[in-house]
């Protein structure tokens, strides 16, 4: 991780700006290739400056109304698209989602996440239909503070909730790759921390006519992440639907819908 002290940067000419973008003032960790880090940083700088300049012009000349959430998300997606061009040929075969997508018809998608805040853990589940509408969202406290256990517990809880709600076809999405890999493996779980939880989740698969587990990147799991993060500002356990979503969950959900592929 790195940060920039803007108060320590002096850019007075066009040449200074170009050098700043093309030769970013960063220290390269020993574990990361200098060329890749410099290129990715330059991409982020250039696209951010381009975004600021275009937004400034729209406001100055077109009376443009700023929507910060959509502007930032659009910038994130542009940066991600450019960064992917730096990936190797093998990495280009990775088709895991980077944007949230609606599930297939008649399938309920349950996104899950866990958060540990101030030595307290919470797990969250957000259920959406094929139109992207939130049917229900749940969050509760978990006594175990191990992050991997919390993520596996969130998946199991989603399976249990789906059973109680009578969902016939479900897709479970999580950004915990270890957990999803264990669920999709043809062999028994080798991770003793979560083996029991994985086994319990798999035992519930037969309750559904269709059940799919998918790993997604954090960007495609923002709604569940937002709910887990604000858990301890709510009265737990907490359940809501489209009519009474917490503000941060509503913002994340609307952002997902706005950028969901049509």
Is the pLDDT reported for residue 220 higher than 80?
yes
Q: Are residues 78 and 112 part of one domain? A: no
The model's pTM is 0.66
> What does the H/E/C string look like for the chain?
CCCCCHHHCCCCCHHHHHHHHHCCCCCCCCCCCHHHHHHHHHHHHHHHHHHHHHHHHHHHHHCCCCCHHHHHHHHHHHHHHHHHCCCCCCHHHCCCCCCCCCCCCCCEEEEEEEEEECCEEEEEEEEECCCCCEEEEEEEEECCCCHHHHHHHHHHHHHHHHHHHCCCEEEEEECCHHHHHHHHCCCCCCCCCCHHHHHHHHHCHHHCCEEEEEECCHHHCHHHHHHHHCHHHCCCCEEECHHHCCHHHHHHHHHHHHHCCC
On the question of pLDDT at 186 being above 80, the answer is no
- If you average pLDDT over residues 208-213, what whole number do you get? 96
| Last-in-domain residue among 34, 67, 93 | 93
Judgement on whether residues 145 and 236 belong to the same structural domain of the protein: yes
Q: How many domains does the chain have?
A: 2
Domain that residue 152 falls in? 108-259
Q: What is the pLDDT of residue 86?
A: 64
* CATH number of the domain bearing residue 202: 3.30.420.10
Q: Are residues 40 and 164 in the same domain?
A: no
């Amino acid at each position: 991780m790195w940060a920039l002290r803007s108060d320590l940067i002096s850019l007075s000419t066009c040449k200074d700006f170009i050098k700043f973008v093309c030769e970013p003032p960063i220290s390269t960790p020993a574990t990361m290739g200098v060329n890749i880090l410099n290129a990715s940083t330059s991409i982020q700088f250039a696209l951010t400056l381009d975004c600021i300049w275009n937004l400034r012009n729209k406001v100055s000349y077109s009376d443009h109304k700023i929507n910060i959430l959509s502007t930032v998300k659009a910038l994130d997606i542009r940066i991600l698209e450019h960064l992917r061009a730096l990936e190797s040929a093998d990495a280009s075969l990775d088709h895991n989602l980077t944007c949230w997508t609606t599930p297939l018809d008649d399938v309920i998608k349950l996104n899950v996440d866990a958060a540990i805040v101030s030595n307290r853990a919470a797990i969250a589940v957000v259920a959406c239909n094929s139109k992207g509408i939130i049917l229900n969202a749940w969050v509760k406290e978990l006594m175990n503070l191990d992050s991997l256990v919390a993520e596996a517990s969130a998946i199991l809880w989603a399976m249990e909730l789906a059973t109680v709600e009578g969902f016939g076809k479900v897709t479970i999405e999580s950004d915990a790759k270890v957990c999803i890999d264990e669920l999709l493996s043809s062999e028994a779980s080798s991770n003793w921390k979560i083996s029991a939880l994985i086994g319990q989740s798999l035992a519930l698969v037969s309750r559904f006519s269709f059940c799919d587990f998918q790993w997604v990147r954090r960007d495609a799991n923002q709604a569940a992440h937002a709910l887990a993060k604000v858990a301890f500002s709510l009265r737990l356990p907490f359940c809501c639907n489209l009519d009474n979503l917490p503000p941060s969950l509503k913002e994340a959900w609307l952002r997902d819908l706005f950028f969901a592929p049509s």
